[in-house]
Amino acid sequence: MWSGRFSQPNTDLVLRYGESVSYDWKLYEHDIAGSIAHARAQRNAGMLTDEEFEAIRSGLLGILADIQAGNFSWKMQLEDVHMNIESELTRRIGSPGAKLHTARSRNDQVATDTRLYCRAQIDATLELLRDMQRALLLKAEEYAEVRIPGYTHLQRAQPVTIAHHLLAYVEMLGRDTERLSDCRRRVNVSPLGSGAIAGSTINLDRAAIAAELGFDTVTENSMDAIADRDYIMETLFCLSLIGTHLSRLSEDLVLWSSAEFGFCTLSDAHTTGSSLMPQKKNPDVCELTRGKSGRLYGNLVSVMVAVKGLPLTYNRDLQEDKEPLFDSFETISLALRVNAEMVAGMRINPDRCADAVSDPLLLATDLADYLVRRGVPFRHAHELVGKAVAIAVSTGTPLSRLTLEQFQAISPEYGADVHSVFNLDRAFALRTNPGAPNPDNTTRRLNYWKQKLS
């Protein structure tokens, strides 16, 4: 960093080691917006003339246009996005540019820029989350009547529907949306005016600056404002949890698209072949999504570790917050877009689903409930059904095809109507509690999400 304090410049190695402009240039739009708001406050405080403010504003907008057109040259020697823009501004307009940094530090400047960046990226991610929910919702509606086994421990458990299964992910992403929206409130607080650590003796209107930049309020402690990276860690956690949910969906689709399950077929556009085996159709999008969830976790942990031992306030370690932040937003953005596209192109195979859900063992718990309704305590009913299952397995007979005599040999509590249990329509009709895969419940929840996402 330049300064009259030093008698020799940094070596090339130190410059390379410390520069951040190779990645923090992405903050340019927010840096320029913050600088214009700061300059306006300087003018309102009588520190700039109208002409000086207009020169700064016009100069910054010219730099913005050049950057967006790809005509701006970033210089490593100037370390970061802030000094590159300020230096170029001063080169273009002269002394007014040198006044811009009055009453601010790169410390509150970078905190402001990253908050503005997080806010913009959160808003974009929220829309992508809704797109992903819409894709799942449309697929759930398309195959609402298709039934499949639900699994626990990856073993067939009880019957559910494709709609109910996909709606589970719509619910997860709904919580992600709420979580990220709540995080946005804590992001949207302006630290500009906190200076390097203790504010400034030149007092600008922080509230007016915050309002111009769209912040809800200003920070109340200058030391906390400079040292705080909670908003980045919270944002990274929210993105990591979105990654978790996408990864779980990916694993379901890896299983469903396998020959062993065959519940769905992923489109050719979202799968790849093998370099050796011509028959292969690999679910690479799903596998990459599983892998990228680990990348999201790593970004969160790297920032938490960088911050955990830092004394107040600013330490150069905090420079390490940006690459993980940028990478996580870019990763989750691409993951949400490609997964929404993949789900939209996915086809469910009703015949394979019907074959799998015809397994009468899926209704073993319904059989226990049948006994409970006949007055048998549940633990005893559980045991009696377990004995019936054991006979079915040992004799190779489907549970639903055991004779009435076989059932009643286990217990006289099995009535003549015992076989009525083995009817999927009945099984779904009885599941009327909120949250269960009853057709009416599913229709209500489909309509709820359609209205919410419209």
Specify the pLDDT at position 39. Answer: 98
Q: How far apart are CA 443 and CA 65, in angstroms?
A: 50
Whether 7 is a known active-site residue: answer no
Is 237 found in the same domain as 346? yes
- If you average pLDDT over residues 144-149, what whole number do you get? 97
Angle between helix axes 28-44 and 106-142 (nearest 10 degrees) is 130
- If you average pLDDT over residues 329-343, what whole number do you get? 98
Check whether 2 has a pLDDT greater than 60.
no
Is 254 found in the same domain as 148? yes
Residue 204 resides in a domain: yes
Specify the pLDDT at position 10. Answer: 87
Which of the residues 22, 58, 258, 274 is marked catalytic?
274
- Which of the listed residues 355, 382, 414 is the one where a domain comes to its end? 355
> What share of the chain has pLDDT > 70, as a percent?
99
SS3 state of residue 172: helix
Residue 1 resides in a domain: no
Residue 4 resides in a domain: no
Specify the pLDDT at position 429. Answer: 96
Is 444 found in the same domain as 404? yes
Please state the domain count of the chain: 3
Is 386 found in the same domain as 320? no
Check whether 3 has a pLDDT greater than 90.
no
Check whether 6 has a pLDDT greater than 90.
no
Is 245 found in the same domain as 130? yes
Is 375 found in the same domain as 277? no
**Separation in Å, CA 63 to CA 23, 50, 57, 83, 88:** 18, 20, 10, 13, 8
Residue 173 resides in a domain: yes
Specify the pLDDT at position 5. Answer: 75
CATH code of 257's domain: 1.20.200.10
Is 114 found in the same domain as 79? no
Is 319 found in the same domain as 207? yes
- Which of the listed residues 355, 387, 421 is the one where a domain comes to its end? 355
- If you average pLDDT over residues 108-129, what whole number do you get? 98
Which of the residues 153, 275, 394, 454 is marked catalytic?
153
Residue 5 resides in a domain: no
Q: How far apart are CA 117 and CA 11, in angstroms?
A: 31
CATH code of 393's domain: 1.10.40.30
User: Which pairing describes strands 147-152 and 155-161: parallel, antiparallel, or unpaired?
Assistant: antiparallel
Check whether 157 has a pLDDT greater than 80.
yes
Is 138 found in the same domain as 88? no
Residue 328 resides in a domain: yes
Q: What is the pTM of this model?
A: 0.95
Residue 152 is given by DSSP the state: E
Average pLDDT, the chain: 97
Instruction: List the beta bridge partners of residue 161.
Output: 147
Whether 95 is a known active-site residue: answer no
Residue 62 resides in a domain: yes
Is 176 found in the same domain as 91? no
* Residue 314 CA neighbour count, 13 Å, CB half: 17
Q: Please, is 7 exposed, middle or buried when counting C-beta atoms within 10 Å of its C-beta (0-12, 13-18, 19+)?
A: exposed
Is 363 found in the same domain as 350? no
- If you average pLDDT over residues 379-386, what whole number do you get? 98
Distance of CA 373 to the CA centre of its chain: 44
CATH code of 57's domain: 1.10.275.10
Is 310 found in the same domain as 205? yes
Check whether 20 has a pLDDT greater than 70.
yes
Provide the residue range defining the domain that includes 391.
Answer: 359-453
- If you average pLDDT over residues 297-303, what whole number do you get? 98
- Which of the listed residues 304, 325, 355 is the one where a domain comes to its end? 355
Specify the pLDDT at position 13. Answer: 93
